[in-house]
């Protein structure tokens, strides 16, 4: 079933990434490890092949266990059938901590810098304590990420939550350009500027929280309550997600049923006219003594 999900080619490595992924973040992080393992295994059985993880989510261990079970049960023949993404947390955002970070698997298909900020080593928490926030040395951390790819620990490397300006600065010294920038994108925050910039630079954009991430620390139900989307959904009898995060088995199945239809030009026009507002402003990374003194600095004005 996994082959029914379309893929895109990452231009920096020529590797393919499934366009629909299964997100493993559930807040509070680490609260439902056994449920998470069961849900991931069920998703593999249904046909999901792209799984999005992170050190912060505490989902790397249950993901690895679910993959082992899937191999044992014959749901997949090889680890190579899956595309696994994980992310470097802020506390490991230091050159000497990138390589030893908790990858859990023999290799990752994609390894991302989770946020463009470092913190005091040792804790995997959100929000990060204000006193622990530190500026990230992008050049040295990216050099360590490049080493991960050279060693085969990650087939591709990239970033998450990077603005155009931060990407530009990274590209100025990078020997291996980021393959992906994972950012918040939804009908209510369409991110035209960053999408156009990444397209120009050959960077694949992955969307997180496409439905608003209700239930998460920063979640909102505004996307699901949007009248324009309700009207389009009622007419189509469908719902769409790009990066799925659902531990309900029936919704996991429903989220796969999105590739046998498409929106009309009129639908797309209506969606493009929806008022825009970022759901997650990342105020947790703002501190008078930290690297970012305002949310405008976090996003370089892209809010």
Alpha helices in 212-281 (DSSP H): 222-225, 227-236, 249-254, 265-272
Determine how β-strand 83-88 pairs with β-strand 157-160. Answer: unpaired
Structure tokens at 113: 């810098």
Structure tokens at 245: 């995060």
Closest CA to 230 of 217, 239, 242: 239
Beta-carbon contacts of 237 under 8 Å, excluding residues fewer than 6 positions away, are none
Q: How far apart are CA 213 and CA 237, in angstroms?
A: 21
Total residue count of the chain as it appears in this document: 303
Rounded alpha-carbon distances, angstroms, from residue 220 to 53, 95, 143, 212, 217 = 21, 35, 36, 5, 9
The active-site residue, picked from 48, 57, 111, 280, is 57
- Return the exposure string of 181-207: e unless at least 16 CB atoms fall within 10 Å of the residue's CB, then b: bbbbbbbbbebeebbebbeebebbbbb
Q: Is 57 a catalytic residue?
A: yes
Ramachandran angles phi, psi of 251, nearest 5°: -70, -35
List active site positions.
57
């Amino acid at each position: 079933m996994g082959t029914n999900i379309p893929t895109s080619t990452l231009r920096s490595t020529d590797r393919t990434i499934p366009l629909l992924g299964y997100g493993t973040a559930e807040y509070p992080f680490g609260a439902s490890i056994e449920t998470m393992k069961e849900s991931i295994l069920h998703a593999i059985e249904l046909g999901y092949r792209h799984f999005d993880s992170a050190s912060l989510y505490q989902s790397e261990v249950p993901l690895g266990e679910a993959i082992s079970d899937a191999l044992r049960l014959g749901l997949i023949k090889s680890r190579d059938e899956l595309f696994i993404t994980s992310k470097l947390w802020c506390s490991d955002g230091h050159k000497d901590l990138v390589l030893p970070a908790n990858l859990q698997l023999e290799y990752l298909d994609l390894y991302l810098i989770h946020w463009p900020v470092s913190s005091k080593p040792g804790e995997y928490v959100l929000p990060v304590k204000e006193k622990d926030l530190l500026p990230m040395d992008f050049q040295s951390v990216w050099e360590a990420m490049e080493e991960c790819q050279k060693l085969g620990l990650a087939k591709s490397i990239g970033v998450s939550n990077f603005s155009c300006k931060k990407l530009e600065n990274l590209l100025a010294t990078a020997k291996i350009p980021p393959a992906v920038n994972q950012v918040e994108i939804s009908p209510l925050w369409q991110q035209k500027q960053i999408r156009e910039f990444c397209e120009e630079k050959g960077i694949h954009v992955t969307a997180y929280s496409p439905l608003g991430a209700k239930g998460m620390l920063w979640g909102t139900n505004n996307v699901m309550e949007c009248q324009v989307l309700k009207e389009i959904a009622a007419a189509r009898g469908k719902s769409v997600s790009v990066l799925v995060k659902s531990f309900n088995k029936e919704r996991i199945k429903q989220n796969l049923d999105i590739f046998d239809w498409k929106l009309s030009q009129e639908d797309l026009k209506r969606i493009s006219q929806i008022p825009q507002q970022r759901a997650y402003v990342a105020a947790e990374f703002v501190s008078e003594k930290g690297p970012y003194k305002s949310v405008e600095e976090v996003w370089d004005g892209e809010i």
